[in-house]
Amino acid sequence: MPPEALPAVAPRDLEAAWEQARAAAAAERWGAPRRLLFQRRDGSPQELLLADADAACWAEAVDARHDLGTLSGLSLCLRLLALVEVMTRARWLAGLYSLTAEGIELHPALLRAAAAMPLDAAARFDERDLRRLLSRPIPSGVPA
């Protein structure tokens, strides 16, 4: 299946993965680069490479707890990475997280949106769709 067909995850699992990944980075538990293979709907292959040191670290942390060999583990990892990526480019999201002495605190609405909305073909969140989703009540998609 392609990245955009990956299932929703529970917001609490996404939040836990965020904390696990932060702890792994703080402990300098760097993972190896990962090559992810997907099959497009037309049958063609699609490859995603997690070569960035931070992405590899975060993928390692998620894999240790949720197994990237499962759809739920893979979906959780890619949603976590997509959330970090969209936070770096969508300045309007700044009101939905805060920097604290302990790290970044994520607003529950942002967690629910990232857990429920589909990824795009590049395993990212579409900023426009995210803004639209956050402008109305967000169904959890998965039992909390």
Looking at residue 133, its pLDDT comes to: 86
The structure tokens listed for 5 are 């067909």
Q: Are 35 and 49 in contact (CB under 8 A)?
A: yes
How many CB atoms are closer than 10 A to CB 14? 23
Could you tell me which of 92, 93, 91 has the C-alpha nearest to residue 114? 93
pLDDT along the chain (144 residues), means of 10: 95 94 90 93 94 93 93 96 93 85 85 94 94 71 51
Alpha carbons 135 and 64: distance in angstroms, whole number:
35
Question: What was the pLDDT predicted at 103?
Answer: 77
Q: How many whole angstroms separate alpha carbon 11 and alpha carbon 33?
A: 26
Query: Which residues, 6 or more positions from 108, have their beta carbon under 8 angstroms from its beta carbon?
Result: 11
